[in-house]
Amino acid sequence: MIDTCCILYVLLMVSLTGASESGIIGGKVTKPHSRPYMASLQYQGRHSCGGILIREDFVLTAAHCHYPQTMTVVLGAHNISKKEDSQQHLTVAKYYKHPKYKKFDYDIMLLKLENNATLNKYVKTIGLPKKNGKIPANIKCVVAGWGQTGPNEPASHVLKEATEKIQLIFECKNIWKEYFNSEHMICTTFDKKGGICQGDSGGPILCNNKPQGLTAFTVENQCENSKFPHVFTKLNFFAAWIEEMMNQ
């Protein structure tokens, strides 16, 4: 166990980030098109964040992924540096950030697409967890995304994935202190085999093939530092809000 005073000192010395330009460290290349719900959110043709397609006309991602420029959602992609026949490029018509979003908390956003996605073997929706669903600690889950393969490494053009393990709530709180809200966040432990990094924001963490969270924040430029659990926005807490936004 790390001494508490040391944790507080470290937190004062590092800065948090949800990351916009990054990817999976280590891990492995995902089997092409095996995760057809994955979305690459792009500005001026450049990947910025991840997301998941939850309805033909809605993508779910992190609130901090919103920038003033027009966003394009790319679906059906494996290699985002190529113009694959499977890809669909759709413009975002409306952004629904959670009204309580503030820096690291309530970090969730719905993207209303200008046109519906065409569902096929390359592009599919994924269901969300139920409102009162529980996530057991210590189960292994999968994270996925495009981008940097390390803090100072170049971006990966192909979709990659890695395994992380759900951390106990008290351990998340012990490390992240006031930054961690157990009601609507989950966090994970990970090893040198891989994990999320800056820029995988908005992408999913999948437990038993169900999305349980969206990548929210890590320590800036130290995403591989296992002393700091990776933090995700807990989806079951926001189930009612998501439903309300999509049906209004």
Q: Which residues are catalytic?
A: 64, 107, 201
Strands 88-97 and 46-55: unpaired
Tell me the two tokens of residue 58: 């809605």
The full length of the chain comes to: 248
User: Smallest Cα–Cα separation from 45: which of 120, 157, 153?
Assistant: 157
Backbone angle region of 199, left / alpha / beta, with phi > 0 → left and psi within -120 to 50 → alpha: left
What's CA 95's distance to the chain center, in Å?
A: 17
Distance CA(213)–CA(234), nearest Å, equals 5
Name the one residue in this structure whose structure tokens are 């090893």.
191
**Side chain identity at residue 99, one-letter code:** P
**Count of beta carbons in the 10 Å neighbourhood of residue 239:** 16
Residues in CB range of 148: below 8 A, 6 or more apart:
21, 22, 23, 25, 154, 155, 156, 197, 198, 199
DSSP summary character for residue 178: G
**Side chain identity at residue 150, one-letter code:** G
Distance CA(43)–CA(60), nearest Å, equals 17
